Structure 1
Amino acid sequence: MTNLIISPAWLLEHLNDPQVAIVDCRFSLGDPQLGRQQYEASHIPGAYYLDLNQDLSSPVTEHGGRHPLPNPEDLAQKLAEIGVNFQETLVVAYDDSRFAFASRLWWLLQYLGHDNVAVLDGGFTGWQKANYPLTNVIPQPQTATFVPQIQTDMVVDIHGVKSKKDLPEVALVDSRESDRYRGEREPIDKIAGHIPGAVNYPWQEVTDSTGYLLSPIEQRRRWENLATIEEIIVYCGSGVTACVNLLSLKLAGISTGKLYAGSWSDWISYM
């Protein structure tokens, strides 16, 4: 276990730790209400729910992509209400989608200046399979203090992508499935294809098929061709699953990754 990844067994031992806040991030792009419904039916004891659309994104506009970054003050208030004290509380995020949504929260907390955050290995499914406790009890709101310190260097907009993507010291990484990268299939966005110059590292390669992280050695091997690049700009369809690749980069010991938050859905809004 690394400090970025928490095992189910560790979390079981810390369910009642006041210094640990658990966040359920389950979500379905095809059915936006499903994640909250699943949470209300059954979740890890003490876990709060944060919704990708309502909490971890801001409203969609003409540009900025399908999941624009949330207003930092709004998210900070929500984090305080679930007991997260800035730079103190350990936040453990989980989903049942191979880190797709938990990684978004993991990245957002660091963007707000809070590094004490990890994702649950194996997610909700792994917790269930271990026969660990579940509940439908919704925990009460908390009173914590969260004053964000925005890390502006972690994010890149379309102008930054355009000015940097062809530089020899910069790599542009497309995190979507290979057929979407090649433009053979596009289930969500109006235009298929990828940003010129981007290389493809599908986000699903970070975990095995059951949602457990591949070893740190495998994470390093995955990125070995980009290990010496000065800056790695990562994108996906809307800035969500790209965060799984940013987590993988961190696990590989590479700290040069940045998020193109608007991603492909923002890029094509200017076409």
Structure 2
Amino acid sequence: MDESSEGAAPSTGTEAGAGVEEEIGAEVAHEDETDLDEEIFSTSLTAQELQERLEGDSQPVIAYVSNTPIQGSYIEGSIALPSKSLIQADGSLKTIADLAGVLGKAGISEEDDLVIYGDCLSCGDATFLYWAMKYLGHQNVAVLRGSQQDWSAAGISLSGATSAIAEAVYIPDPRPELLADYESVASGNFAVVDVRAPDQFGAGHIDGAINIDYNRVIEGSWLKDDSALTEIFSDLEKDRTVAVYTKNGGQASIVWYALMLQGYDARLYTWNDWLGHQS
């Protein structure tokens, strides 16, 4: 979800009558999950782990989520689920009902094992889709790691085009705690992280925000290791909720995802929403 593209990522502005469901926020581990559940509901998969699932009895739904055609080959059987399909023309997130409709039309149900991948991690498409699925309460969703070379090496079949599958009915179980709104951010109760480039941060930012450029958490085609992320997030307290923002939220989801992996209660927010409340 490259934020350089006009309208390519959601604003979190709340429209009249829309309520919190049209905003963008933390993965909270369910204490009653068993070790097996934690293995099944992993946050990411390697190519080899995906191949093992493809060889199993229950086939995952694999979705290509970038907004432009892939440079190379798709994983065979992938459906197209561009991240921009989750947002409205004005850049705000679609309603819960509309999001469920998009997923159902794509052939996804809430019971599916969903694997998502995109053409570049730094665009934010895959991490934004992961956030959106968690926002809708989807249990079994993971981001695919690695390159096309890794997929081929693992024996995953590739194709020159995406596929279509039968439509489904998606029943969401929303998790509104994943959203940050203006009042929560303005209250000063949250730690606030601006993940834009330093020059953008210097040109204007939310009072009290710290700057962690989203590129700092990326290494190659994936996130940096735990020790590096721990150092990057060292100024943040684990017991304080973190609101993460960029212009319209897309690339903020990269840092949200990294914070979630490190055990933070992180929520997605946008600079556009903040500016909208200043006028």
TM-score using structure 2 length? 0.75
CA 1:131–1:205 in structure 2 vs 1: closer, same or farther (change >3 Å)? farther
Q: Give the SS at the match of 1:139.
A: coil
Q: Corresponding residue for 1:189?
A: none
Determine whether 1:24 maps to 2:47.
no
Q: Corresponding residue for 1:59?
A: 89
Q: Give the SS at the match of 1:226.
A: coil
Q: Which protein, 1 or 2, shows the higher relative CO under an 8 Å CA cutoff with sep ≥ 6?
A: 2
Q: Corresponding residue for 1:63?
A: none
Matched residues, percent identical?
28
Q: Corresponding residue for 1:187?
A: none
CA–CA separation in structure 2 for the residues paired with 1:137 and 1:51: 14
Unmatched runs of 5 consecutive residues or more in structure 1? 28-34, 61-66, 184-192
CA–CA separation in structure 2 for the residues paired with 1:125 and 1:233: 36
CA–CA separation in structure 2 for the residues paired with 1:50 and 1:245: 22
CA RMSD of aligned residues (A): 2.6
TM-score using structure 1 length? 0.77
Q: 1:96 aligns with which of 119, 122, 139?
A: 119
Tell me if the contact between 1:81 and 1:143 (Cα under 8 Å) persists in the aligned partners: yes
Q: Give the SS at the match of 1:224.
A: coil
Q: Counterpart amino acid of 1:198?
A: A
Q: Give the SS at the match of 1:84.
A: coil
Q: How does 1:122-133 map to 2 (within 5 A)?
A: 122=146, 127=151, 132-133=156-157
Q: Give the SS at the match of 2:163.
A: coil
CA 1:200–1:135 in structure 2 vs 1: closer, same or farther (change >3 Å)? same
1:147 Cα offset (Å): 0.7
Unmatched runs of 5 consecutive residues or more in structure 2? 1-38
1:24 Cα offset (Å): 0.8
Tell me if the contact between 1:182 and 1:194 (Cα under 8 Å) persists in the aligned partners: yes
Aligned residues: 237
Q: Give the SS at the match of 1:268.
A: helix
Q: Corresponding residue for 1:46?
A: 77
Q: Give the SS at the match of 2:82.
A: coil
CA 1:201–1:161 in structure 2 vs 1: closer, same or farther (change >3 Å)? same
Tell me if the contact between 1:219 and 1:251 (Cα under 8 Å) persists in the aligned partners: no
Q: Corresponding residue for 1:243?
A: 253
Residue by residue, what CA displacement relative to the aligned partner does 1:81-132 show, whole Å, maximum 9, x if unpaired? 444331x322111112225110110000010011321111135575478785
